Amino acid sequence: MGASVVPERWDVLGLGQAMVDFSGMVDDEFLERLGLEKGTRKVVNHEERGRVLQAMDGCSYKAAAGGSLSNSLVALARLGGRSIGGPPLNVAMAGSIGSDPLGSFYRTKLRRANVNFLSAPVKDGTTGTVIVLTTPDAQRTMLAYQGTSSTVDYDACLASTISKTNILVVEGYLFELPDTIRTITKACREAHRNGSLVAVTASDVSCNERHYDDFWEIIGNYAGIVFANSEEARALCHFSSKESPASATRYLSHFVPLVSVTDGPRGSYIGIKGEAVYIPPSPCEPVDTCGAGDAYASGILYSFLRGVSDVKGMGTLAAKVAATVVRQQGTRLSVHDAVELAESFAFHLNSSTIRSDIGSDHISSL
């Protein structure tokens, strides 16, 4: 952390994949030429990554310290970056980066966004990347390269940090890494023992299906919040595509105190104790849907940390954050938009929806 001042406690610690994003706009013909199925997420090797990046030469694209979880953490840090509705939030991330230039790029970019990346680089490791290709219809196709630094170890630094954390957020993509599942279990057990809230992101349908038992081992024993989209929620329930997102939300809420399920432009649901509360979408003209779910999760976490106890208000807040990201190119909530949103939220909060502790009478079991 260099010269940064280490806080006594972290509001949120994210445990996730540290990936550098290369994002750009392409047309359908580009995807067809490379044999890529639109709207999917695919794991690629070093050679495949090079082939796609070479094909993108001449296209307009940008690099960012990406990854689904880091998108949420950056948005959360920006929403809570000032004393609006409460003290500034302390946000950190642990993961795995290589000792290569991309690893240094990742750490520096997160630090500039007020997210402290706490893990030391892996010697001689290569940092993972995700190529995000967005077509004019706002659909995204993602190609992930894990790199050689994809294992996250449970070390003394991580154990110490978890003991000083209010909310631990575990990224579902980590379940793809066999050795890291042990780290997830140890981290969640320690967080639970220290009275911290554990949140889990579902991340990806195929990941949920391949590691169904591992997900439920963590969700069933430790999770206070689960973030998922409608397809991921159905996968975690072993439901068919005919089942509604509301049904999946209700089912999951019997096992997890709070369930957040997004359903694209149709809105979202928050599940508590067998009930699913519908949250209408916040109006916007979509430009790039990449990062919408990540932004929504940041809104839920932010409202939690600011003491919002009304479930409908919590979801409305999250939907507005997601809509703000969707109407722009790129996955990150800007500082300007974050301040405006935080000020708007603070204005609408009143004494009946604020508590000094995390939670409410409806979600006290968290």
Tens digits of per-residue pLDDT, 16-74? 989 898 888 899 999 999 999 999 888 898 889 889 988 988 777 888 888 889 999 99
> Over the Cα atoms of the chain, what is R_g?
19
**In-domain check, residue 136:** no
CATH number at residue 173: 3.40.1190.20
Q: Which amino acid is at 270?
A: I
**In-domain check, residue 296:** yes
**Could you tell me if 81 and 347 are in contact, meaning their C-beta atoms sit under 8 angstroms apart?**
no
Q: Which amino acid is at 62?
A: K
Which residue has tokens 């894990």?
Answer: 146
| Count of domains for the chain | 1
Domain that holds residue 288: 10-18+67-126+149-351
Lowest pLDDT segment from 22-26, 159-163, 227-231, 239-243: 22-26
What are 266-308's pLDDT values in tens digits? Answer: 999 999 999 999 999 998 888 877 789 999 999 999 999 998 8
User: Which pLDDT belongs to residue 5?
Assistant: 67
φ/ψ (deg, to 5) at 102: -65, -35
What are 176-217's pLDDT values in tens digits? Answer: 887 899 999 999 999 999 999 999 999 999 999 999 999 999
User: Which pLDDT belongs to residue 352?
Assistant: 40
**In-domain check, residue 23:** no
Which strand (E) or helix (H) includes residue 166?
strand 165-171
Tell whether the model's pLDDT for residue 236 goes beyond 70: yes
**In-domain check, residue 189:** yes
**In-domain check, residue 3:** no
Q: What's the rounded Cα separation, in Å, for the pair 253 and 251? A: 5
Q: What's the rounded Cα separation, in Å, for the pair 312 and 276? A: 11
Q: Model pTM?
A: 0.86
**Could you tell me if 20 and 105 are in contact, meaning their C-beta atoms sit under 8 angstroms apart?**
yes
Q: What's the rounded Cα separation, in Å, for the pair 366 and 256? A: 9
What are 298-316's pLDDT values in tens digits? Answer: 999 999 999 888 899 999 9
